[in-house]
Chains A and B, each alone.
Chain A
């Protein structure tokens, strides 16, 4: 992975930079020894590691602002970091950049049931939001699999999803407001406890901007009343195509399950060996379909869904009769990644989205790529919204296998775009998919996105080297080609 050439001038000033940072934040909030910085040298995409110039852990928004302002004035790059669970390298440090960690922003500031929202600092974990309100019957809907560790500020940066976003949306649909610190050190508030406003939806743009536009210093999240009941079906199919048909039929019948997950044969077997969830080992595909809501509704819909999956050719159907059983259905799915980790020394987790109807084509494509590269692939799949998570199995100790696995992964993502889908459904672009952006976007598309970047960060100081395959200088992006003189297109109708 080629990162931007580090600025040796900045690296040479490291001691001075650390001294200056220590004047802005308490002394122990700047970490600059190699041993201590080791803990920050990678995020969830651990194949890539890099020590930062220094780590700074501010404690107040004023300190964030001071650090950003100084870095901006002195041309020092900044890489923001929440809990460091990104799967796409969004928080990968740079040798010439200050790593700005939000870990000390770990307080919930306001639980507001009248307005059904929680105001929290960005370093609070996703699960802690739900924990803070569950005794009163509320919860925070987005539930990325890393929810025990990932921070809500990171959720905003990555627009995190989870298994329930078919019904409840991603972070962007559950975020009411943020406080933002710009690279100039200005503190702005976007949104709030109100719903819509009459300005540009900068809150929407910040969500999923992967730390390239600003640092989130506070979030206001919508909380929902917990559904009265949840029940799940565990459905086996002998044919993956039939499982795909069942998913389409359920939605066509007007039913939006809270979650609808699919696993393929290899994933089923690995998960069953690991979790003993009672999965049908012989099945080619497994669906976990969860319905939540009022008990009367859930019971009625369970019956409808059961009829639909049987008609679609299900080979086995189980309906949860208790909370324990429902949790057991999920246990296998939720342990799919560690389970695959047990049957292979290493794996790469991919994340693309396709139009759901293309699933059988995609499964065939993956089988043939698997043969071509000589690597196995296990599939877990947020079936309701078409979000694929192929896990490519490889052994990093075998020379060339990581590169082969990465090439296999890139081919899968290329196929996603070819089939009308996108490169990433929820993990983000980061460094991992940066160089694939040109598959999905034209040069003009990417230039327009980078012009927006320039509106927030004209010096490209915030998290450079992520998301965009090629950095254009803002002055160059701003140039205009105006056609002067004669009308360029006389055939254009005019009235």
Chain B
């Protein structure tokens, strides 16, 4: 096994070309914090892109940040904080549940983009894929290419940025990327509301979203976890609604929503801490359990959870107003039950995010593709990487 440590795309192209010549497979890696996401695949060499690091150009008043994909997230967030801006999709840290590759290293922006990771604000502000404006990369053909641009509004050519987000390094090795930034909110507060069950919670949340009080994030916690987090409403479930914006606006909306729901306000510091823990799935992290995430229509959360036998004893948190269900359990029946539940919905997917045993060798971590979708995925992969040099089969068998 060779470790190709590259410092620019030219060198990355050479490494890819060499792998092509050898018919070898490369694992594209920077900080390595997300190596355990996806299928357990084996690779011949490592393409280490951690040296592709640093901020290239940041123009806060243009809302545009150009940086190299290997830039550590803590550097990115420090630069944004200096300008009182943010990545609105609220990138989570996966190290709480996946463990740290090196002490204190939170991963890189390239990893966040490659895995299309978004936090609680995804519900109202969009995902990582909505903020990648453009990139430069090397394809699995060993060729440099770019797509998108460094401006906010652009429809020139195919939007390959969307494809790079969430492709787990299987289509290209990114260097320079450009992201849209947004001003950070002045204030962030939360409201804690009681709910009897998940369906009732989702419906109450729908009512709040039909109001003009602009909720920004919305989670549902079962009482045990609500109690651990210090926000127990005393009911079987607790709804948390986050409001962000300028001080006067947040205070005003919080007042209206309290009147409307009878909920209780949470102090700013407690609110910030709670949402950071929800973002990083921290309430499910400590116990050694498999962790699944299910993405579904918000109103379908109750059906997803209801499909699990209560004897499976899962721990869960629900984000995105019901659209994202995190479940932790030790039983091998959890995964099949979730897959079956999702198959019964109009749309959705279930992904194994963490396994403590060898669960991912028994069940596909990503929702398996079938028929025309599988064929199309293979052709798309081949159009970027015909020999399967880059992170082969990281997501799906044969892709």
Contacts and interface: CB of A to CB of B under 8 A. Distances in A.
B165 to A, nearest CB: 6
Contact of A113 (B18, B143, B206): B206
A256 B154 contact: no
A425 interface: yes
Q: Counting chain A CB atoms within 10 Å of each CB, which of B6, B123, B209 scores highest?
A: B209
Interface string B17-28: 110110000000
A193 B387 CA distance: 35
Interface SS of chain A: loop
A198 B151 contact: no
A252 B182 CA distance: 10
A105 B351 CA distance: 35
A169 B130 contact: yes
B395 interface: yes
B265 interface: no
Nearest to A136: B210
B246 interface: yes
Interface stretch (B227-235, B281-289, B293-301): B293-301
B380 A455 contact: yes
Interface string B338-353: 0000000011110100
Given A196-B295, A482-B17, A201 B165 contact: yes
A165 B126 CA distance: 13
Given A300-B249, A426-B155, A194 B295 contact: yes
B327 to A, nearest CB: 15
A159 interface: yes
B166 A200 contact: yes
A17 to B, nearest CB: 26
A2 interface: no
A254 B167 CA distance: 32
B214 interface: yes
B18 A467 contact: no
B153 A195 contact: no
B372 A355 contact: no
A485 B257 CA distance: 70
A252 B82 CA distance: 12
A213 B202 CA distance: 37
Interface stretch (A56-64, A323-331, A361-369, A486-494): A486-494
Contact of A256 (B122, B182, B211): B182
Given A254-B186, A296-B252, A455 B382 contact: yes
Given A170-B155, A200-B163, 15 more contacts: A114-B298, A159-B159, A165-B153, A193-B296, A194-B349, A195-B320, A199-B166, A199-B373, A201-B166, A421-B151, A422-B156, A445-B157, A467-B157, A482-B17, A492-B18
15 contacts: A114-B299, A166-B152, A193-B300, A199-B396, A249-B61, A252-B61, A294-B214, A357-B62, A420-B150, A454-B383, A456-B376, A467-B157, A483-B20, A488-B18, A494-B3
Shortest 10 CB-CB distances between A and B: which pairs? A192-B347, A204-B162, A297-B249, A254-B183, A193-B297, A228-B212, A455-B379, A451-B383, A425-B153, A198-B366
